[in-house]
Amino acid sequence: MPKTYPVALRRELIARMLAGEDVRSLAAESGVRDHTLYRWKRQALIDAGQRPGLQTGVIDELADARRRIKELETELAATRLASELFSNGGADPKGNTRL
């Protein structure tokens, strides 16, 4: 699982990178890997409109949509399974339960 960093630290480091500080020196100082800092910088430039790509808000919306689609597909599979069970006579929903 990826390591998470405080939002304040991320904002500070992004501001310093955009101001022109060297990424490698920031990585050594902060303990955040340089690869992570490069990704943050790239995404900050995309969010600022200085670089092409999907902005953070759009990425979050897509992730939410994909999560919801997966939930709906799971529900649909369960409904189909129940429908198949009842149509094949494997279960009688109105059957007598008294013995």
Within a domain: 48 = yes
On whether both 8 and 30 belong to a single domain, the answer is yes
Instruction: Give the model's confidence band at 85: pLDDT under 50 very low, under 70 low, under 90 confident, else very high.
Output: confident
* Spatial separation of the C-alpha atoms in residues 7 and 86, rounded to whole Å: 52
For residues 68-92, give the mean pLDDT. Answer: 87
On whether both 37 and 5 belong to a single domain, the answer is yes
* Spatial separation of the C-alpha atoms in residues 71 and 77, rounded to whole Å: 10
Within a domain: 96 = no
pLDDT of residue 93: 61
- Burial group, residue 27, by CB count within 10 angstroms (0-12, 13-18, 19+): middle
State which residues form the domain around 38: 1-53
pTM over 0.75: no
Instruction: Give the model's confidence band at 94: pLDDT under 50 very low, under 70 low, under 90 confident, else very high.
Output: low
